[in-house]
Structure formats: structure tokens, C-alpha cells
């Protein structure tokens, strides 16, 4: 595939172990979202369009870190970022402990920490706090990823794979921390922003990539791809009030161009994309999944894990593919040799893809 590097499948094949997920306790249902939109934006000139899009988004409920009444207020960027840091530090320890337990390792067995997030900013990175607080080695490599949005879930898996291949026998912990509700902008009346308010949810996910052994998905190859001319289609505009999410109306159709890239990548690995056993696909929205299904001739039931995450969590950004993966781990249907495609999509428009088999 031109312009895309694929790892050599004859090299070390690290294993992605069962992810852990933490969901905040506050829940917003689809009906509540519709009611809030009608009430808060009653005089919006495009309210009918916004409501139609919201009703078709396929999200039954979402989890958020603050009660709805607080989430709808904007106390200022400083307060919101302080909330992000407080909530991250209070929730990460439990989800990390579960992920380590799933992989059968301890903090001292981890050689690199990857933390991905696009919904808050902390410097030094949360990785430094994790080393000082959670018992990780002082020599651990810190790899924070901050600007890949939803694609960062796939990117974190691929970068963890790269580290394990470059450092045989070593292990990586990935943490995806996304509090999308803290980016709510009550005065931003763009239809794309209103839609995003009904699509995104909050979650923290964590997973271990083992350099040797383990049970899970052995990552055999990966690639990255940027769709030309689309770098402004998903973006943040940084204003005094913080991050304003910009969503171009053409984004749902980008899968028409990205799906052939996925098919070519899978074919280079010697597989047919329509014949794979499992698809761990980012929950960008119902049209993303339907377009991939139709163009790649994937049976609908093969996408049910992604559909369920979208329906029960919303789009939880970089944490999405870990939630989808966890559902597959919990299904108890996997068997050695089952084939997987992992796909994360986000700003750029960027696709982060990986293929692997169950071991």
C-alpha cells in the first residue's frame, strides 16, 4: 500500500490483553438529550435539523463525570481543566489495577506508559503522576498522545506494539482518559456542535500490551493513513472558553474513502476483509459503521459489539475501541486463530488500523 508501512509479521508478535473500563456514575439518556436540546436551544433557527440528527445518532445513553445541571454550565476553562485533572486522578488507579490484573502483571512489570486524551490538558503528563503514585518503575518510558482525538485509541495500540517489537520482552500499559462532557460549549450554536453534544460520552479505559505470552489479540501488522484534504473536518478551535469541537457535515461520508484503505491493508496481510471473525471499530456514529458494513460486505452481526458500545456509551473518543474489545473478551466466543481488524478514526482524517489473531 503506497505511503503506508506495515510491520513484518515474522517479527515479535505482542499481545493486547483484556481492557478495563471505568464509566462515570452520572447518566444522560437519549430522551433527556432531546428534551435538553429543545429547551436550551428553543429559538435556534436550525433546531429541527439538529433534532433530526440527534434522534438518528443511535445513542440510548451516555455517562458523564458531572451531574447534568453542572455539565450544562460553563464555569470557565480553568475550572473545567481542574475538574478533568481531579476526575482523572480519582478514577485512573482502579481501571489501571483491573487492566494489570487482566494481564497477570504488576506495576513493576510495565516498561512504558501511554496515556491518550483530547479532552483536558495536564503537564507534566498524567504518566509522571502515575509513576509517582501507582508504583510504576522510575525508568518507565512516558508516551503521552494528546492531539489524535478518537483515532488515538488505535494509535496507542500501534505505538504499544512498536515499543514491544523494538524492546523484546517488555510490556506497555495504555490508558485512554476522555471526559468529552467537559468540552460542552453552551453558547456554541453550530449544528455540528449540537450533534456532538448528543453523541459523545465520558470514560476511562486501560489495557496492557505484553511483549511475550498472554491471552488476547496478537497484533501482527498495523498502518496509519491520512485522508488528503480533510485536516479541518474534525478539529478543535481554541477560544477563551476552551475547546470548541468543529465537525464538518462531510465527516460521516469519509468512510467511503477510508474503507478501501482498510480493505487494501487487510489484503496485504493475506486476508479478505469481509471474512474476518471480529471487527473492533471506533464508534464514530451509525453511518460510519453502516458504510463500512456495506462497502466491505461485512455481516451486520459482526459489528454488533461496536453498535452496542455506541448505543450504551455513545462515542467515548479514544476509549471506544477498548470498550468494544472488552465486549469481545467477555463474550467467551473467541478461539485460537480467530482474525481481527482494529480501526480507530479521528482528526486528520486519520485512520489507525491493526490486524491480529486470537491466542
Name the nearest CA neighbour of 224 among 322, 276, 118, 148.
148
Q: What is 114-134 written as a DSSP string? A: EEE-SS---SS-HHHHHHHHH
- Peptide bond preceding 349 in cis form (omega within 30 of 0): yes
Q: 150 an active-site residue?
A: yes
The 8 Å CB, 24+ separation contacts for 141-146 are 141/111, 141/112, 141/113, 142/112, 142/113, 143/112, 143/113, 143/114, 143/115, 144/114, 144/115, 144/116, 145/114, 145/115, 145/116, 145/117, 146/116, 146/117, 146/118, 146/121
Cell 498472554 locates to 214
Pairwise CA distance, residues 236 & 234, whole Å: 7
Q: Which residue out of 17, 118, 150, 183 is catalytically annotated?
A: 150
Chain-centre distance for alpha carbon 284: 9
E-strand stretches of the chain: 15-16, 20-22, 26-29, 61-64, 112-116, 141-145, 172-179, 202-210, 217-226, 234-239, 242-247, 278-281, 339-346, 350-358
Q: Which residues contact 27 (CB under 8 A, 6 or more apart)?
A: 61, 62, 63, 64
Name the nearest CA neighbour of 114 among 82, 140, 79, 78.
140
Contact of 55 with 194, CB cutoff 8 Å: no
Residue 90: Cβ-neighbour burial (10 angstroms; 0-12, 13-18, 19+): exposed
- The three grid cell numbers given for residue 144, joined into one nine-digit string: 503521552
SS3 of 323, please?
A: helix
Catalytic annotation, residues? 150
Amino acid at each position: 500500500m503506497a505511503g503506508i508501512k506495515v510491520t513484518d509479521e515474522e517479527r515479535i508478535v505482542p499481545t493486547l490483553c483484556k481492557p478495563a473500563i471505568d464509566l462515570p456514575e452520572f447518566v444522560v439518556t437519549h430522551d433527556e438529550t432531546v428534551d435538553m436540546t429543545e429547551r436550551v436551544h428553543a429559538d435556534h433557527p436550525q433546531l429541527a435539523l439538529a433534532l433530526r440528527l440527534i434522534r438518528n445518532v443511535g445513542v440510548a445513553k451516555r455517562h458523564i463525570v458531572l451531574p447534568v445541571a453542572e455539565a450544562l454550565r460553563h464555569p470557565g476553562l480553568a475550572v473545567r481543566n481542574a475538574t478533568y485533572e481531579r476526575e482523572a486522578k480519582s478514577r485512573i488507579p482502579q481501571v489501571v489495577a483491573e487492566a494489570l490484573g487482566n494481564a497477570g502483571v504488576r506495576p513493576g512489570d510495565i516498561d512504558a506508559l501511554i496515556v491518550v486524551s483530547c479532552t483536558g490538558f495536564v503537564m507534566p503528563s498524567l504518566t509522571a503522576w502515575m509513576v509517582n503514585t501507582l508504583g510504576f518503575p522510575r525508568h518507565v518510558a512516558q508516551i503521552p498522545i494528546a492531539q489524535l482525538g478518537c483515532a488515538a485509541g488505535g494509535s496507542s495500540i500501534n505505538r504499544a506494539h512498536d515499543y514491544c517489537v523494538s524492546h523484546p520482552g517488555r510490556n506497555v500499559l495504555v490508558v485512554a482518559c476522555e471526559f468529552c462532557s467537559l468540552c460542552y460549549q453552551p453558547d456554541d450554536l453550530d449544528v455540528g456542535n449540537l450533534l456532538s453534544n448528543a453523541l459523545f460520552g465520558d470514560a476511562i479505559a486501560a489495557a496492557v500490551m505484553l511483549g511475550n505470552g498472554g491471552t488476547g489479540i496478537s497484533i501482527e501488522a498495523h498502518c496509519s493513513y491520512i485522508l488528503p484534504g480533510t485536516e479541518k473536518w474534525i478539529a478543535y478551535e481554541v477560544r477563551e472558553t476552551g475547546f470548541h469541537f468543529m465537525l464538518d457535515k462531510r465527516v460521516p461520508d469519509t468512510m467511503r474513502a477510508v474503507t478501501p484503505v482498510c480493505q487494501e491493508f487487510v489484503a496485504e496481510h493475506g486476508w479478505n476483509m469481509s471474512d474476518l471473525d471480529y471487527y473492533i471499530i471506533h464508534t464514530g456514529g451509525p453511518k460510519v459503521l453502516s458504510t463500512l458494513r456495506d462497502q466491505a460486505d461485512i455481516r451486520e452481526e459482526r459489528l454488533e459489539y461496536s453498535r452496542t458500545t455506541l448505543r450504551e456509551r455513545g462515542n467515548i473518543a479514544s476509549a471506544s475501541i477498548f470498550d468494544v474489545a472488552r465486549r469481545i473478551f467477555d463474550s467467551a466466543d473467541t478461539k485460537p486463530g480467530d482474525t481481527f481488524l482494529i480501526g480507530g478514526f479521528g482528526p486528520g482524517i486519520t485512520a489507525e488500523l491493526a490486524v491480529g489473531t486470537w491466542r
